[in-house]
């Protein structure tokens, strides 16, 4: 089923895999068997789908390379625990074909937990399978959790389609056809409204093993300065995450040179900073004089990357966060906030923060657009960056907001409020360059942006309770009888 994830995005693997595993589930005889079925299915899916997780450990292979296989095994096996629990609970608290409804409910609940529990990790969620125009049509209404539930509702019951039960399943087939027919197609690209503002995307293409090399790191800065100085000038220039290889505290001269080269055009760039002994992964908006008049500190940090759980203990073992340049890790910023800019009010996101739709959905105010600055060089050159890009497109579609996405090694792109990369609006993976793109206008607030995940979580609980109560009632009647 992992072939449904980017960069493959095969459409048919999702219905085939969900139908097949559900048919096998109907044949299991015990909670233990159901557990191993769900866990094994999940472990295989996550192991292949998240194989890019070994890439960060190869950047400094001498120090961290030994961790790579453990990371893949522990991550895929750990995430599979949620799916194993879903199958086991569905087997335990339902009976007969009602187990399929229970499976949909428990699977949905577990996907909610995977997205929210601890720090959450909704990567490779069911909504990210086979992403295409249909995905971007549904997300503004259902969000990723509701869309994942819809897929389960559509395909899990197909396990009942056996030859002797074709006619009872006919209403289900009609229901699926009606869903597809009811979807409103996305408008043509030329129908998207644009603002009068131009944004320059700057992609230096700095490999992670060279990004902090003292002999090479300033070459990438000079490259970005050269791109920023090109005429005609845009209204805003955006550099990627940690684009300047020094602390903000010591970068006044550097930032002045950058702004002077850009002829005073405001620049949003990623940089690290220190305050009271704590270090932050930040994005700053420079004014015409190179002064940071807006600073955003990343809130949702990467565990084991930007910070380490139990930092004192792991520091004694000589283990530090992979992306941290300061001790045992960064400190999280106080909150996500909407910032003003010359082209409108925007919500800044730094790398990992673009993975969490529910974080973006908690804003009381509505920005004009989203900005995601990232360093996807950590993810290698194959599936990781492509999957991260897809999630950025999903965030734009969910909110009905355009997104400016700038990545160190790509893919940098201007994404319209329907989740599509605008025509000619991207710099390919692994290339250095810059691109001036008109900023699309936002749409009206979407249904999902108003409701969030709560309606679909409550519906998943109903799907859990109905078969469980039915089974309980049947057991009581048998006991009385």
55 belongs to the catalytic site: no
With a CB cutoff of 8 Å and minimum separation 6, the contacts of 274 are 247, 248, 249, 280, 326
Name the more confident of 62 and 457.
Answer: 457
Catalytic residue among 55, 111, 211, 298: 298
Instruction: Output b/e per residue, 112-125; b: 16+ Cβ within 10 A.
Output: bebbbeeebbbbbb
Written as one string, the DSSP assignment of 3-35 is GGSTTT--SSHHHHHHHHHHHHHTT--SHHHHH
- Determine the average pLDDT of the residues in 98-120: 95
| Residue 338 and residue 365 in contact, taking contact as beta carbons nearer than 8 Å | yes
Give the Cα-Cα-Cα angle 347, 349, 350 (nearest 5 degrees). Answer: 155
With a CB cutoff of 8 Å and minimum separation 6, the contacts of 439 are 194, 195, 197, 198, 199, 343, 344, 369, 402, 404, 414
Using DSSP's 3-state secondary structure scheme, residue 48 falls into helix
Between CA 342 and CA 285 the distance in angstroms is 10
Q: What is the pLDDT of residues 291-330, one digit of tens each?
A: 999 999 999 999 877 887 655 555 555 555 555 555 558 9
Q: Which helix (H) or strand (E) holds 321?
A: none
- State the pTM of this model: 0.93
Among 384, 362, 360, which Cα is nearest to 372's? Answer: 360
Catalytic residue among 55, 111, 241, 353: 241
389 exposed, middle or buried (CB, 10 Å; 0-12, 13-18, 19+)? buried
351 belongs to the catalytic site: yes
Catalytic residue among 55, 151, 351, 353: 351
Domains, the chain: 2-185+453-479 (no CATH), 195-440 (3.60.110.10)
Band of the pLDDT at 191, cuts 50, 70, 90? confident
What pLDDT shows up at residue 11?
87
């Amino acid at each position: 089923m992992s072939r449904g994830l980017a960069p493959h995005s095969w459409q048919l693997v999702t219905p085939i895999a969900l139908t097949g595993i559900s048919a096998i589930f109907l044949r299991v005889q015990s909670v233990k068997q159901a557990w191993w079925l769900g866990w094994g299915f999940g472990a295989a899916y996550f192991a292949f789908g998240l194989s890019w997780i070994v890439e960060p450990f190869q950047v400094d292979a001498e120090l961290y390379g030994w961790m790579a296989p453990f990371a893949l095994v522990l991550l895929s096996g750990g995430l599979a625990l949620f799916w194993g629990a879903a199958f086991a609970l569905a087997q335990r608290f339902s009976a007969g074909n009602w187990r399929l409804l229970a499976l949909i409910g428990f699977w949905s609940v577990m996907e909610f937990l995977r997205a929210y529990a601890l720090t959450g990790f909704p990567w490779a969620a069911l909504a990210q399978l086979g992403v295409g125009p249909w995905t971007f049509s549904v997300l503004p209404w259902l969000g990723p959790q509701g869309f994942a539930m819809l897929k389960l509702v559509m395909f899990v019951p197909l396990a009942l389609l056996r030859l002797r039960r074709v006619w009872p399943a006919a209403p289900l087939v009609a229901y699926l056809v009606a869903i597809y027919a009811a979807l409103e197609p996305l408008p043509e690209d030329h129908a998207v409204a644009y603002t009068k503002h131009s944004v320059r995307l700057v992609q230096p293409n700095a490999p992670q093993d060279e990004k902090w090399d003292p002999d090479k790191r300033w070459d990438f800065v000079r490259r970005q300065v050269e791109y920023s100085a090109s005429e005609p000038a845009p209204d805003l220039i955006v550099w990627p995450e940690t684009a300047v290889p020094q602390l903000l505290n010591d970068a006044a001269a550097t930032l002045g040179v950058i702004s002077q080269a850009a002829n005073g055009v405001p620049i949003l760039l990623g940089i690290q900073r220190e305050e009271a002994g704590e270090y932050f992964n930040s994005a700053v908006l420079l004014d015409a004089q190179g002064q940071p008049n807006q600073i955003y500190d990343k809130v949702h940090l990467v565990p084991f990357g930007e910070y380490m759980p139990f930092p004192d203990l792991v520091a004694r073992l000589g283990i530090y966060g992979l992306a941290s340049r300061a001790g045992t890790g960064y400190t999280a910023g106080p909150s996500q906030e909407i910032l003003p800019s010359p082209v409108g009010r925007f919500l800044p996101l730094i790398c990992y923060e673009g993975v969490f739709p529910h974080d973006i959905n908690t804003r009381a105010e509505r920005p004009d657009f989203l900005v995601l600055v990232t360093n996807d060089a950590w993810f290698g050159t194959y599936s990781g960056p492509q999957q991260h890009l897809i999630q950025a497109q999903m965030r734009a579609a969910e909110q009905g907001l355009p997104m400016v996405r700038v990545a160190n090694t790509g893919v940098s792109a201007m994404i319209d409020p329907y989740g599509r990369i605008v025509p000619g609006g991207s710099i390919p993976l692994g290339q250095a360059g810059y691109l001036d793109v008109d900023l699309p206008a936002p749409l009206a607030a979407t249904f999902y942006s108003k409701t969030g995940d709560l309606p679909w979580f409550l519906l998943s609980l109903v799907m859990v309770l109905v078969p469980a109560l039915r089974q309980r009632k049947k057991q009581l009647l048998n006991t009385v009888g």
